[in-house]
């Protein structure tokens, strides 16, 4: 086994989980994944997904795994609430939004809950965050709360209301001036925009007026 390619592969693995296709740009044959796994230098965590055995694992590890395997998926709902710190509960699965016509590969683990959307309901309020070295696309805090009301039959109205209360309770951060909100926008403005993108403003409005 060529030391230079083995070293290059291990160096690549330090930045986060690896898929076989990630090796192509580095000119490393895919067989090195199996060889290094047999030597205990890598471990296979799912079909086609590898990482260093001593790689740090956070509570968001499952989200990073899904984002690596399905880069077009947008982490949403309960999983996005977890990332944004808008809930203290860990979801039983990773919740994602994908396009109505997009293909969703079968994953051995972790469990994934898939919802489909299109247009503004899928594209509005999407941001990117790095988790365990993996770029993760996820809904913004405002869009996440709006989505909980849109998909309340899936997550429950109580979850949506709890997310809304927590969202309104938290002070705006300096990062609130995002391209979605604008420099002069408020957290409520962002929530209203997200609800309109989801076409559920009429549903959200009474709760927002009662709690704001």
Residues 6+ apart with CB under 8 A from 184: none
Our count of domains for the chain comes to 2
Chain centroid to CA 135: 9
Q: Are residues 15 and 105 in the same domain?
A: no
Q: What is the predicted pLDDT for the residue at 157?
A: 95
Q: What is the predicted pLDDT for the residue at 166?
A: 94
Q: Are residues 10 and 95 in the same domain?
A: no
Are 142 and 187 in contact, with CB atoms under 8 Å apart? yes
A 10 A CB-CB count for 141 gives 27
Share of the chain above pLDDT 70, in %: 90
Query: Residue 144 — very low, low, confident or very high, per pLDDT cuts 50/70/90?
Result: very high
* Cα 144 from Cα 96, distance rounded (Å): 11
Q: Are residues 22 and 102 in the same domain?
A: no
Whole-number mean pLDDT of the chain? 85
* Helix (H) or strand (E) segment spanning residue 122: helix 120-123
State both tokens at 118. Answer: 């299109």
Sheet holding 18-19, edge to edge: 18-19, 49-51, 43-46
Q: What is the predicted pLDDT for the residue at 59?
A: 77
> What pLDDT digit, counting tens, does each position of 158-203 carry?
999 999 999 998 866 544 444 444 333 488 999 999 999 999 999 9
Share of the chain above pLDDT 90, in %: 47
Are 181 and 189 in contact, with CB atoms under 8 Å apart? yes
Q: Are residues 39 and 84 in the same domain?
A: no
Q: For residue 56, is it within any domain?
A: no
Query: Residue 41 — very low, low, confident or very high, per pLDDT cuts 50/70/90?
Result: confident
Full residue range of the structural domain in which residue 143 is found: 61-211
Q: Are residues 92 and 129 in the same domain?
A: yes
> What pLDDT digit, counting tens, does each position of 9-39 carry?
888 887 777 777 778 777 888 888 888 888 8
Question: What's the DSSP call for residue 91?
Answer: P
Minimum mean pLDDT among 32-41, 90-99, 122-131, 173-182: which range?
A: 173-182
Q: Are residues 164 and 130 in the same domain?
A: yes
> What pLDDT digit, counting tens, does each position of 43-70 carry?
887 677 787 887 766 678 889 989 988 9
Q: What is the predicted pLDDT for the residue at 173?
A: 54
CATH code of residue 34: 1.10.10
Q: What is the predicted pLDDT for the residue at 9?
A: 84
State both tokens at 129. Answer: 């965050």
Q: What is the predicted pLDDT for the residue at 159?
A: 95
Q: For residue 140, is it within any domain?
A: yes
Q: Is the pLDDT of residue 77 over 80?
A: yes
């Amino acid at each position: 086994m060529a030391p230079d390619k083995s070293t290059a592969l291990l160096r690549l693995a330090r930045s986060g989980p690896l898929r076989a296709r990630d090796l192509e740009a580095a000119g490393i044959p895919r067989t090195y994944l199996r060889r290094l796994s047999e030597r205990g230098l890598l471990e296979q965590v799912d079909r086609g997904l590898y990482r260093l055995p001593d790689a740090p694992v956070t509570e968001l590890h499952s989200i990073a795994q899904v984002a690596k395997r399905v880069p077009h998926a947008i982490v949403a709902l309960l999983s996005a609430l977890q990332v944004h710190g808008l809930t203290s509960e860990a979801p039983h699965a990773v919740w994602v939004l994908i396009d109505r016509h997009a293909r969703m590969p079968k994953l051995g683990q972790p469990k994934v809950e898939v919802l489909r959307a299109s247009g503004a309901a899928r594209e509005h309020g999407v941001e990117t965050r790095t988790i365990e070295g993996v770029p993760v696309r996820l809904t913004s805090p405002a869009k996440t709360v709006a989505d909980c009301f849109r998909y309340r039959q899936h997550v429950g109205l109580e979850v949506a209301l709890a997310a809304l209360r927590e969202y309104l309770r938290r002070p705006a951060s300096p990062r609130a001036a995002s391209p979605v909100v604008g420099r002069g926008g408020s957290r409520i403005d962002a929530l209203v925009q997200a609800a309109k993108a989801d076409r559920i403003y009429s549903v959200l409005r009474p709760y927002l007026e009662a709690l704001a």
